[in-house]
Structure 1
Amino acid sequence: MAENSNTFTIAGDIPPASATTTTTTQAAETQTEETTTSSDSNSPATAPAEEEEEKEETLPFTTPSPSLSTSVLLPLTPSTSSAPALAHVQHVWDTIRPNSAIYNLLLSDIILVAAVSQPTGRILAHLTLQPVHLNSKRILHGAVSGALCDWAGGMAIAADIAGDSGAVDKDGKKILSTGVSTDMHLSYCSTAREGDTLEVEAWVSRRGKKLGFTGFEIRKRVEGGGWERGERGEVVVVGSHTKYLPFGQKRE
């Protein structure tokens, strides 16, 4: 073994570390020159990739919708509402309300405006904001939005059940239970203040034997009756809600 502070020849033809470093450095420099030459040229093979990369960097930020259900459906208004569906949803709400202190506190003034069962369960309601709905900054409290999502998802399930002839209990009566929550997601897009009237819309994306999946949206109501023509106001909250349906249903 030769003594050198930087070089140790261990065996055979293995080059010294300094020689390896020099070779690697030269190769890197050569590769850099080739890369520079290639990038400077107008080669068709590299131009599309550069254009695609620039395009990706300029894409605007977008927030995905929790569901595309309402994008292909007619606006839900009193004129497009189903009387049997609305009556069933109202009956379910009247059954639930006396047993829920939270609903009585926050949603005692909510008004069911419309409901349909086909092609999917869907509801629309209005709520005018009062001081009880606001946080310390005097804007809509996030917990109220959560309560609305929970409530509206259940009402959408009720609307879906209204149009299902097989959704009956052991006595042959329509199922009134809408299950319990297993998952809920909300995104806060803007805010609302005291006196604002909110449109609360929810729809069923899928209802199985055990789970029901719903989408949800809170909007500011369009003034001047525009909402009756299907005009939509500023979106305040969007969300999704999953429910375990068998809970609370009568069993054989």
Structure 2
Amino acid sequence: MATPTDQTCSAEFLQEHVELIWSQIRENSPIYQFALEKIKINSVEKGTVKAGLRVEKKHLNSKGFLHGTVSTCLIDWMGSMVIASHGLEKTGLSTDIHATYIATAQEGDMLLVVGQASRVGRSLAFLTVNISKVLPSGETQIVATGTHTKYIKQ
């Protein structure tokens, strides 16, 4: 399979590569199949991925707000997608993940998840993820932020 290792790769090629890696990961991950069943990858550039997810009842805690484990799941998942945007087929193992919860989201809210690579080296990748909800005005409000480190040595 061709991989997008050349910086001149088109956004379309990168999008297809990341979608392929996501389909392979999803196939073998019951938790992702459950929690992220309807996530949509909106755009891909090398080192940046944007995705959207509508909050459903299954994503809520007992108070009716987005569950912290769903936010952390999104951070973990997005880290893999950002690594895939660098042309890698194996997206590594988490060595460190942090989430900071800033605001709430409720059932029906649309989440915008943006992941960026701070650095993708030979052994480790350092990533940041912002999870925002899209307000009726079209503006976004940060719900959670995260950092993620993954061991990626192929």
Q: Which residue of 2 aligns with 1:218?
A: 131
Contact 1:122-1:160 at 8 Å conserved across structures:
no
Q: Give the distance between the partners of 1:106 and 1:133, measured in 2 at CA.
A: 7
SS class of match (1:160): coil
Contact 1:160-1:204 at 8 Å conserved across structures:
no
Q: Which residue of 2 aligns with 1:145?
A: 71
**1:84/1:222 Cα in 2 relative to 1: closer, same or farther (>3 Å)?**
farther
**Which aligned pairs between 1:1-40 and structure 2 lie closer than 5 A?**
none
**Which aligned pairs between 1:39-50 and structure 2 lie closer than 5 A?**
none
Larger Rg: 1
Q: Which residue of 2 aligns with 1:182?
A: 95
Question: Match of 2:124, as an amino acid?
Answer: L
Aligned residues: percent identity? 42
Structure 1 length-normalised TM: 0.56
Q: Which residue of 2 aligns with 1:132?
A: 58
**Number of residue pairs matched by the alignment:** 145
- How far the C-alpha of 1:116 sits from its partner, in A, is 0.2
Q: Which residue of 2 aligns with 1:197?
A: 110
- How far the C-alpha of 1:203 sits from its partner, in A, is 0.6
Q: What RMSD in Å do the two structures reach over aligned CA positions?
A: 1.4
What is the aligned counterpart of 1:238 among 125, 145, 152? 145
* CA deviation map 1:163-212 (0-9, x unaligned): xxxxxxxxxxxx41100100011110101000000000001000111000
Relative contact order, CA 8 A, sep 6+: which one is greater? 2
SS class of match (1:127): strand
Q: Give the distance between the partners of 1:160 and 1:191, measured in 2 at CA.
A: 32
Question: Match of 2:143, as an amino acid?
Answer: V
Q: Which residue of 2 aligns with 1:98?
A: 27
Question: Match of 1:139, as an amino acid?
Answer: F
Runs of 5+ in structure 2 lacking a partner? Answer: 1-9
Q: Give the distance between the partners of 1:130 and 1:108, measured in 2 at CA.
A: 11
Structure 2 length-normalised TM: 0.90
Q: Which residue of 2 aligns with 1:23?
A: none
What is the aligned counterpart of 1:156 among 66, 82, 98? 82
Q: Which residue of 2 aligns with 1:209?
A: 122
4+ long deviations beyond 4 Å: none
Question: Match of 1:145, as an amino acid?
Answer: S
* CA deviation map 1:3-41 (0-9, x unaligned): xxxxxxxxxxxxxxxxxxxxxxxxxxxxxxxxxxxxxxx
Q: Which residue of 2 aligns with 1:82?
A: 11
Question: Match of 1:243, as an amino acid?
Answer: K
Question: Match of 1:211, as an amino acid?
Answer: L
